[in-house]
Amino acid sequence: MPELSPAEWTAVELSLRIALVATAWALPFGIAIGWLLARGKFWGKTVLDGLVHLPLVLPPVVTGYLLLMWFGRKGPVGAFLYDHFGVVFAFRWTGAALASGVMGFPLLVRPIRLALETIDRRLEDAAATLGANPALVFFSVTLPLALPGIIAGVLLCFARALGEFGATITFVSNIPGETQTISAAIYTFLQIPDGDAAAGRLVVVAIVLSLAALIAAEWLGRRASARFHGE
């Protein structure tokens, strides 16, 4: 591994923190939305499905712009969150996490929804006859059985969040030490003379991290499904 300068380390550390926070926050929402899409019967389900997938098809710059409009200090949601909770997204790493989470969200929801759709509902009935109330059925049967899908979604979302560029730079700009992730740093280094070497080092880091995420996904997924198919 090539030596990284402190500035480069900062970008790497920031990227990891942003991707982790984004994925952790997205996960409960991802499970809830995945469950609604898999099980819910309600008016507007198609609209919800479309909204969830929007970040996948919109130009990331557009998503970033929309986030800026809504979650900026003067945006309706951003102003509310600042006034009531003191939370600021604009030009902060938290905003980068929000943008990454939104971009990764469709990739998180999809495998979770698929996993929930393929669960044998009759096992949930069996759990109910054994005295488990609906919440217990969900946590003791549904969720564990959906685990391989949840793991796949988490890793995809994390990987997407780690590499997010367009929406992040549009929403929270490219501030070293605050919102300058690996991708943004590579972009910046390529703009300055003699930045090639630094950019190259970060490219290596990006490849290593992405591969690690993939291998982790594979390993965890196999462990989870081994639990169901006997070890």
Partner 1 sequence: MLALEVEKQLGALRLAVRFQIAGGVTALFGPSGAGKTSLVNMIAGLLKPDRGCIMLDNTILFDAAKAINVPSHRRQIGYVFQEGRLFPHLSVRQNLDYGRRMSGRRRDPTEFERIASLLGITHLLQRRPRMLSGGERQRVAIGRALLMQPRLLLLDEPLASLDAGHKGEILPYLVRLRDEAAIPMVYVSHIAAEVRQIATTVVRLDEGRVLAAGGLELLAEAG
Distance of CA 155 to the CA centre of its chain: 8
Among positions 42, 86, 133, 193, the unique one binding partner 1 when judged by CB under 8 A: 133
Q: Minimum Å distance from CB 154 to partner 1?
A: 18
Specify burial of residue 185 (Cβ count, 10 A radius: 0-12, 13-18, 19+): buried
Rule CB under 8 A: is residue 210 a binding residue for partner 1? Answer: no
Q: Which two tokens stand for residue 52?
A: 């969830």
Q: Which region among 18-26, 137-145, 155-163, 203-211 touches partner 1 (by CB under 8 A)?
A: 137-145
Rule CB under 8 A: is residue 191 a binding residue for partner 1? Answer: no
Are 100 and 55 in contact by the 8 Å Cβ rule? The answer is: no
Q: Which is nearer to partner 1, 5 or 118 (CB)?
A: 118
What is the phi/psi pair of residue 21, to 5°?
A: -65, -40
Give the span between the Cα atoms of 203 and 38, in whole angstroms. 38
Q: Which region among 51-59, 110-118, 131-139, 159-167 touches partner 1 (by CB under 8 A)?
A: 131-139
Distance of CA 110 to the CA centre of its chain: 12
Q: Which is nearer to partner 1, 140 or 173 (CB)?
A: 140
Rule CB under 8 A: is residue 231 a binding residue for partner 1? Answer: yes
Are 60 and 165 in contact by the 8 Å Cβ rule? The answer is: yes
Rule CB under 8 A: is residue 227 a binding residue for partner 1? Answer: yes
Q: Which region among 14-22, 84-92, 126-134, 199-207 touches partner 1 (by CB under 8 A)?
A: 126-134
